[in-house]
Amino acid sequence: MDYSNRLKNLPPQFFASLVQNVTKAISEGRDVINLGQGNPDQPTPPHIVKTLQQAAEDPITHKYSPFRGTVAFKRAAADFYMREYDVEIDPHSEVAILFGTKIGLVELPLALMNEGDLMLLPDPGYPDYLSGVALANVTYETLPLRKENHFLPDYQLLTQEQKKKAKLLYLNYPNNPTGATASKEFFRQTVDLAKDSSIGIVHDFAYGAIGFEGVKPVSFLQADGAKEVGVELYTLSKTYNMAGWRVGFAVGNAEMIEAINLLQDHLFVSLFPAVQQAAIEALTKDQSNVTALVDLYERRRNTLMKECKRIGWNVEAPKGSFFAWLPVPNGFTSGEFADFLLEKADVAVAAGNGFGEFGEGYIRVGLLVDEERLIEAAQRIEKLNIF
């Protein structure tokens, strides 16, 4: 049976090819240090796991969840935003429960755009944003994220035509892949743009808990007027090491939230209720594991930066996320350098051009192995005599 045009138009899955290359090298018996992944390496905190276990034994969780998730989970999300960001969220009209935020990012163009409409995406940016473009059959244009502008989009570069036509703008801070963070002032400018041009804002806050040097990342919803123009998507994958649990939520503009919920009414009957109970435990109970996790990533960041500079690699430390965005040495493209490191040093990294045109000249390194392996990776690269 022939595939639909919708499936044929899907972009290649960048991370699938990355995993395939690493898997092939490992199958050959090579000791690969995998710095290309974005998969948290620490376990889910025990109190969250215990809550799931107990909830799964309760027959009430074996029934269908309410279509739009439990009120208790939505209230927990609202309480979380008040505690962490001093942002008031109505749990009944301003929360949508998601099977991980990746699905929400793909759903939003389907829920809010018509074929041929324009959306604006960051470049470099999370490759799966393009999945929503393809499935909704919309068009997109990119906003360059350049080092000289601290990897923030420069809204002054938008044309009047783009401002007139664009329906959605995606942002992501702390940023994947660059590790950059955004200020409340930048988000105020974003709200102004959205109001002036009638553009809906979608902020992917996947790394919202991970900021360094004592600086907590800013929520888009902390900017005055943000709920009038956009939504923010928060995942438990990174904050609580729950990547495989597939649980997150969107909060913010009630009309955009209703659009997500209405679409999901026709796709799902929400999450397994036991997972929702575990998510409540994560969001509302002891947060010391989060603090410890951020400290762990900061130690790894500092170790990686120290080792890179020791071998002569001129790098800058990320301000957030669990990624470092490192410049490629002269004589290589991003793809060539990533292939070179895997072939010659058994070190896997993600080529920057996999995240967009303006990712060329960089590689992305994940802080998702222990410090000893980060040191070993630097030592292996040092032996290549390229710095």
> What pLDDT sits at residue 16?
77
**Residue written as tokens 């018996």?**
29
Amino acid at 189: Q
> What pLDDT sits at residue 22?
87
Show the CA angle centred on residue 79, arms to residues 74 and 80, nearest 5°.
Answer: 95
> What pLDDT sits at residue 12?
82
Taking the CB of residue 327, how many other CB atoms lie within 10 A of it?
16
CA 263, distance to chain mean position in Å, is 22
Q: Are 151 and 145 in contact (CB under 8 A)?
A: yes
> What pLDDT sits at residue 127?
93
Show the CA angle centred on residue 126, arms to residues 149 and 318, nearest 5°.
Answer: 50
Overall pTM > 0.85:
yes
> What pLDDT sits at residue 267?
95
Instruction: Tell how strand 166-171 and strand 139-144 pair up.
Output: unpaired
> What pLDDT sits at residue 322?
98
> What pLDDT sits at residue 37?
87
Q: Give the span between the Cα atoms of 86 and 219, in whole angstroms.
A: 10
> What pLDDT sits at residue 60?
94
What does the DSSP assignment read for 115-174? Answer: TT-EEEEEES--TTHHHHHHHHT-EEEEEE--GGGTT---GGG--HHHHHHEEEEEE-SS
Q: Are 43 and 247 in contact (CB under 8 A)?
A: no
Domains and CATH numbers, the chain: 5-44+288-382 (3.90.1150.10), 63-284 (3.40.640.10)
Say if residue 107 is exposed, middle or buried (CB neighbours under 10 Å; 0-12, 13-18, 19+). buried
Q: Alpha helices of the chain — where are they, by DSSP H?
A: 5-8, 14-27, 46-56, 71-85, 101-112, 129-136, 160-165, 184-197, 226-229, 236-239, 254-265, 273-284, 288-310, 334-345, 371-382
Would you write out the chain's pLDDT as a tens digit for each of its 387 residues? 999 998 998 988 777 778 888 889 889 999 999 999 899 999 999 999 999 999 999 999 999 999 999 999 999 999 999 999 999 999 999 999 999 999 999 999 999 999 999 999 999 999 999 999 999 999 999 999 999 999 999 999 999 999 999 999 999 999 999 999 999 999 999 999 999 999 999 999 999 999 999 999 999 999 999 999 999 999 999 999 999 999 999 999 999 999 999 999 999 999 999 999 999 999 999 999 999 999 999 999 999 999 999 999 999 999 999 999 999 999 999 999 999 999 999 999 999 999 999 999 999 999 999 999 999 999 999 999 999
Q: Give the span between the Cα atoms of 173 and 311, in whole angstroms.
A: 30
> What pLDDT sits at residue 190?
98
Q: Give the span between the Cα atoms of 126 and 145, in whole angstroms.
A: 12
Q: Are 331 and 77 in contact (CB under 8 A)?
A: no
